[in-house]
Structure 1
Amino acid sequence: MTDIELKKLKRADLLEMLIDQSKENVNLQQQLNDALDQLQQREIKINKAGSIAEAALQINGLFESAQNSCAQYLDNIERLNGELEKIRAEQEAVSTRILAESQEKAAQLISKTQEKCDQMVAAAEEEAAVYWDEVFQKLGVYHEEHNGPQELLLLLNKLSKQKETIDEN
């Protein structure tokens, strides 16, 4: 499997490959145990046959095969660990970049929202001022038409208190 294909694999797939390698290690261990059992059986046969030189040649071949299998397994584990570390570093870099972009977009949205709120507050204050100006003008007209200064003062006082309450809110 090439480096590019490994980089495209998901973390779960890589872990599955690692599990498969572990299973292969168990199988190799079992083969080694089987080979050791065979070795013991061969030693018995060699003892019976009386050929020590022939037994040594068979044992050397068996140990060499087991050693080659173990070396191959260790090489595969080291290679997979290196590839997993590269993939992890790449994913971390991507995560960091995405986080920075998200924070920047959030800051922009907050800024735009604050500007819009400020504009809405200013517009509402302006509308309130225009409204109160109209109310006072209408009260002036009402006063002139009814010549009721006492009633006007009470009404103005009441409206003034309402305006203060609204301004406080």
Structure 2
Amino acid sequence: MTDKEFKRLKRSDLIYIIYEYQKKQEELMKENEELREKLKEKEMRISNAGSLAEVAAKLNGLFEAAQQTADDYLSQLENTASAEAEKKAEAIIREAEKKAREIISGAEKGSLSDINDD
């Protein structure tokens, strides 16, 4: 509307126009506030996404360290079990050799006594 058209309007029409403009302004202010809230939420999500990525990276490092520790522990157990098995095997072999010598010695004595009896 031009200035001339506004001048020709009645007071009640002008009040109505002002009222409508105020309603529109309130709606726009409310919409503006809602959009600001949405923007804040999105900014927080973006900020948290960065934080979550950092946490995930740290957790990956933690899991890798835990896996390495578990692998080292299992390796030590295998080495210990292997060493113990070797010691047991050596003891069994020594015992078997001892018994074999006893058997051979007993057999030789038995053979000698058979020869002496003749």
Aligned-partner Cα distance in 1 for 2:36–2:89: 79
Match of 1:55 in 2: 12
Matched positions, count: 98
Match of 2:71 in 1: 114
Q: Partner amino acid for 1:73? A: K
Match of 2:4 in 1: none
How many percent of aligned residue pairs carry the same amino acid?
9
Taking only aligned residues, the RMSD between alpha carbons, in angstroms, comes to: 1.8
Aligned-partner Cα distance in 2 for 1:123–1:64: 87
Q: Partner amino acid for 2:19? A: L
Q: Shift of the alpha carbon at 1:131? A: 0.6
Match of 1:19 in 2: none
Task: Give SS of 2:58's match.
Answer: helix
Match of 1:103 in 2: 60
Task: Give SS of 1:147's match.
Answer: helix
Match of 2:96 among 125, 133, 139: 139
Greater Rg by CA: 2
Match of 1:74 in 2: 31
Q: Partner amino acid for 1:100? A: A
Aligned-partner Cα distance in 2 for 1:118–1:104: 21
Q: Partner amino acid for 2:56? A: L
Match of 1:84 among 38, 41, 58: 41
Aligned-partner Cα distance in 2 for 1:67–1:58: 14
Aligned-partner Cα distance in 2 for 1:135–1:78: 83
Aligned-partner Cα distance in 2 for 1:135–1:60: 110
Q: Deviations over 1:58-104 (max 9, x none)?
A: 21122122111111112102211221111111111111111111110
The gaps in structure 2 that reach 5 residues or longer are 1-8, 106-118
Q: Partner amino acid for 1:133? A: E
Q: Shift of the alpha carbon at 1:120? A: 0.9
Compute the TM-score of the two structures, normalised by the length of structure 2: 0.75
Q: Partner amino acid for 2:46? A: A
